[in-house]
Structures are given as C-alpha cells and as structure tokens.
Amino acid sequence: MRPRLRILNQLLLPHGREYVEINDCRAGHHAIASMQTRGAPAIAIVAALSLAAELCGLEFSSAATAQAHIRQQLAYLSTSRPTAVNLFDAVRRLNKVVDAAAADGADVCAAYVQAAEAMLAADIADNRAIGTHGARYIAETAGASSIKLLTHCNTGALATAGHGTALGIARTLHELNVLSHVYFTETRPYNQGARLTAFELLEERIPSTLVCDSAVSALLQSDPGIQAIIVGADRVAANGDTANKIGTYQLAITAHHHNRLFIVAAPSTSIDLDMPSGKQIEIEQRDPSEILVQSGFTKSSVATGSLEPASVQVAPLETRAWNPSFDVTPAALISAIVTEKGVITEQPNSSEFDIKAALS
C-alpha cells in the first residue's frame, strides 16, 4: 500500500477539523504557501514528506534520473516560504543523502524516504529536549515555584512534529505542575495565537488568557508575576539575532523595559551559522489584504458546525498596507536561546551570542 501524508488544515482551526491529502510536491507547496500548515519545523517536515509521498508513486529509469528529479522538486519546495531556515536545512541534508545514495549505487528513492521519515521522529525528540532545558532554565532563573508566561504566535504541536518549541516549554512546565498561567497574544494579522495557540491550550487544559498584541506592555506593568516571554524562531543568525513572527521585536523591547526574561526556543535546525547577523535575513512580505480584510466564520455557523466563511472589509478600499510576516529581534534583547542541546546565553561582557561555539 502506498504511504499517505495527511495534514491538519490549520486554516479551519479552531472551529473545524479537516485533514488534507498531500500526494505530491505541488500539494505540499500549496499547503505551505497558503498556510494550511505553518511553523518553521512543520514546514520543513511537510515539504520533505510531500516529496516522499510523490516518490512512492513514481518509477525512474536510473538512479541519476531519480536524483535529478528529487533535486528539482526540492528546489521547487524551497520557494514556498523564504524565511524559515528549517526548510533550507532540510533540503540541504536531503540532497546530501540522495547524492550519497546515487554515488553508492543504492536505491535513491528509498534512501530519500527513509531520511524524510527520520526527520519527523527527530523533531519530536528535539522538541521534548527543548521543553526540558527551557523549563529548567526558567524555573531556576525566575526562582519561583509558580510560573506565569506570555507567548506569541503558535509554537506548539501544530507548528512542529509534536510537543512544540516555546509552547513545548510551557507544556513541560505544566507537566511538572509549576505552570500557573499562560498569556498568549492574538498575533495579528493571521491570528495564529487567537486561533491555534488557544486551541492547543484548551485541548491541554492549561490555564490561559488571550490578550491583544497591543496590550502586552500594560499586562507586564500590571502583573509583576509574569516571569518570562517565550517565543519561537524561523531563523536565528550566528550572533543570536532572531527572525520570528511579526510583533516579536516589540515584545522583546517591553520585556527588556520591564526586566523580564525574553527567551527564544528553537531547534538547532533553525539556526543559520552562515548568516552573520539578522541584517542579512530575508523577510517575507505577504498580501496586504491580510491586514485590510478580516476573515473567519460567522458566529451562527460556528454554533451549528456548518462553518460559513465570511470576510469583512475593515479599512477603506484605497488603503495601503505594509505586511511583513516576520521581524528581527536583536540579540541584545534576548535573555537565552534554548535548543535541544541546551540553553545558550550571551558571551561575558557582550550583547551577542557565540552560537557556533555553543553548538560545537
């Protein structure tokens, strides 16, 4: 039986659950670009497995032909989201596997499928390790037995192969019975927090409260018991500068002003050691309509489960909008970067990180 790849369509969450069949790279590319699936680790895994599903239905006349097809399709998948470094890291590693298999006279397609499936299992293990390291760091640094956190966007199981990165740390603290509350931002304009993080926290029965993106500074001012802001990352430069969902930078600024921990949680596959600083990171620009128009489902259809989509034009039709998907937080504003290998902090007497040395 041919292996199948099915993904949860996150565009329908939290009100509907639909699984989409991904049988080839074209479907995988569409799922990533349209944000049916999102989150840097999940993007890489869906891209890798979409090609694996495609290969299971193809036959090639030679190893060289298979190798050329795989390289071509991986290059195509790389165009789906330009900022998430995990995707490019996966492409690099998979090309290396395919080249080695072709050189050894092995089954190129089988080698590719095995490597792609291994990435899925490895991501879950990495996220568990991030949760353990991050939970220990927050508990020890905050010096409290009851932890309150704030998080941004969605960095949980929906953004990864399982457990999550920043939200994975919250999950681990919850499992240890030391997490008292999680605040989470709506994360405009796509509302990943209001839709997806809310969904995960409710499913896990973790005490939580949704806040407007613009309310975080007021919240930190009013509640000194919030010890840390934790976020994920789509790309971390060698010096620690971090590209993440738009709005992350302003959270780092207010965390610094209010003397709270600001923690980046990301697997080492999100770290780009060839990128000296955040100045070189390409920032994806998305459709202005995501800001100008509010989309969702009518309240009555959610109540009945019929899910009737609706769009509301908020701004005047002639309004221009600037809609970057990510921003770059300077390393100087980051307290720690948590990976599956441990917690990385700034160098002594420096506002930057030596990530290469920390990971070696």
Catalytic residues: 234
* Dist CA 18 CA 54 (whole Å): 21
Partnered with residue 304 across adjacent β-strands are none
CA contacts within 13 A on the Cβ side of 222: 5
Position of tokens 């690099």? Answer: 92
Position of tokens 């990352």? Answer: 233
What DSSP line would sit under 187-245, residue for residue? -TTTTHIIIIIHHHHHHHT--EEEE-GGGHHHHHHH-TTEEEEEE--SEEETTS-EEEE
* Dist CA 341 CA 104 (whole Å): 32
H or E segment at 262? strand 261-265
Among 280, 346, 291, 284, residue whose Cα is nearest residue 313 = 291
The type of residue at 59 is E
Q: How far is CA 124 from CA 213, 235, 304, 341, in A?
A: 29, 19, 35, 14
CA contacts within 13 A on the Cβ side of 48: 31
- In the 3-class helix/strand/coil scheme, how is 49-93 assigned residue by residue? HHHHHHHCCCCCCCHHHHHHHHHHHHHHHCCCCCCCHHHHHHHHH
* Dist CA 11 CA 360 (whole Å): 39
Contact 133, 338 (CB under 8 A): yes
